[in-house]
């Protein structure tokens, strides 16, 4: 069984009564667990729209998404929160929370009405900080972190949600090159060691080519897996036009 299966999916936005703006139509793809999958494509092609649709932040216009064999559209909010966690591009506006408290918010799908963490929840948070290598930041205030540190914290928060699938929209967007390398190596390690399905969008073609297990490309012809040779050719063509 595939972790994610996209069947004849059309993505876009509702525009008033009875009208829709279709960004991409008839997308077809499968994504497997235990792999780091990088989603490539030009600006404005619809990568973020696709990720938001996979996360159920916006509805599909048509077609179907299967999550671990179950139709995404039939899952309750609680069920989706147990299946998919998301790390977005936007810098979160966080005040008066420590790193440990922020990562603890990832336990929300499992806590009661008051959001009180149990001893087991605290242990999950501690483990996630260690897995991402930021246990030394636990008492830092989240708003004082660098971009690279903040992204690691948001990944730890996603891990604390204990979902089999993690979606990330441009997780290296605000990072310098060494931090980009470190981030993608970390995500690949988490995919392999924890058997997570990690799908991220990126414009860093060279790094994706070197570190991803699977390369997906969204373009005018649809969504399809591409080889490293194809990405290398695209890089060479970009360099030749500069």
Q: Is the pLDDT of residue 102 over 90?
A: yes
* Residue 84 in tokens: 């998919």
Sheet holding 70-71, edge to edge: 20-31, 4-14, 62-67, 70-71
**Residue 155: pLDDT band by 50, 70, 90 thresholds?**
very high
CA distances from 192 to 24, 149, 154, 179, 196 (A): 31, 22, 19, 20, 7
Region 169-175: mean pLDDT is 90
pLDDT at 86 over 70: yes
Share of the chain above pLDDT 70, in %: 99
In degrees and rounded to multiples of 5, residue 202 shows phi and psi of -160, 155
Using the structure block, give the residue that is written with the tokens 């004849």.
8
pLDDT of residue 242: 65
Tokens of 165: 């699938």
For the cut 70, the answer to whether the pLDDT of residue 19 exceeds it is no
Distance CA 183, CA 169 (A): 13
Helix, strand, coil percentages, rounded to 5, for the chain: 45, 25, 30
| Tens-digit pLDDT profile for residues 141-153 | 999 999 889 999 9
pLDDT of residue 82: 96
The pTM (predicted TM-score) of the whole model is: 0.93
At which residue do the structure tokens 């039939």 appear? 74
Report residue 118's pLDDT band, with 50, 70 and 90 as the boundaries: very high
| Mean pLDDT for the chain overall | 92
Least confident of 33-42, 79-88, 216-225, 230-239: 230-239
Q: Tens digits of per-residue pLDDT, 21-66? A: 888 899 999 999 999 999 999 999 999 999 999 999 999 999 999 9
Q: What is the pLDDT of residue 114?
A: 74
68 has pLDDT over 80:
yes
% of residues, the chain, pLDDT over 90: 81
Query: Measuring CA to CA, which residue among 66, 72, 47, 80 is closest to residue 5?
Result: 66
């Amino acid at each position: 069984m595939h972790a994610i299966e996209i069947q004849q999916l059309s993505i876009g936005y509702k525009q008033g009564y009875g009208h829709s703006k279709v960004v991409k139509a008839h997308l077809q793809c499968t994504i497997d667990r235990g792999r780091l999958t990088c989603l490539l494509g030009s600006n404005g092609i619809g990568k973020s729209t696709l990720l938001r649709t996979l996360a159920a932040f916006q509805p599909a216009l048509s077609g179907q998404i299967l999550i671990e064999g179950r139709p995404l559209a039939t899952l309750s909010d609680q069920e989706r929160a147990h299946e998919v966690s998301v790390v977005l591009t936007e810098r979160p506006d966080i005040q008066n929370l420590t790193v440990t408290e922020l990562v603890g918010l990832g336990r929300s799908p499992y806590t009661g009405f008051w959001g009180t963490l149990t001893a087991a929840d605290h242990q999950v948070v501690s483990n996630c900080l260690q897995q991402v290598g930021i246990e030394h930041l636990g008492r830092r205030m989240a708003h004082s972190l660098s971009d690279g540190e903040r992204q690691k914290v948001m990944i730890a928060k996603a891990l604390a949600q204990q979902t089999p699938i993690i979606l990330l929209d441009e997780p290296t967007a605000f990072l310098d090159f060494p931090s980009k390398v470190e981030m993608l190596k970390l995500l690949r390690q988490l995919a392999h060691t924890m058997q997570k399905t990690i799908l991220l969008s990126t414009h860093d073609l060279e790094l994706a080519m070197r570190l991803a297990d699977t390369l997906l490309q969204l373009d005018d012809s649809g969504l399809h897996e591409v080889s490293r040779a194809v990405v290398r050719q695209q890089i060479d063509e970009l360099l030749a036009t500069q």
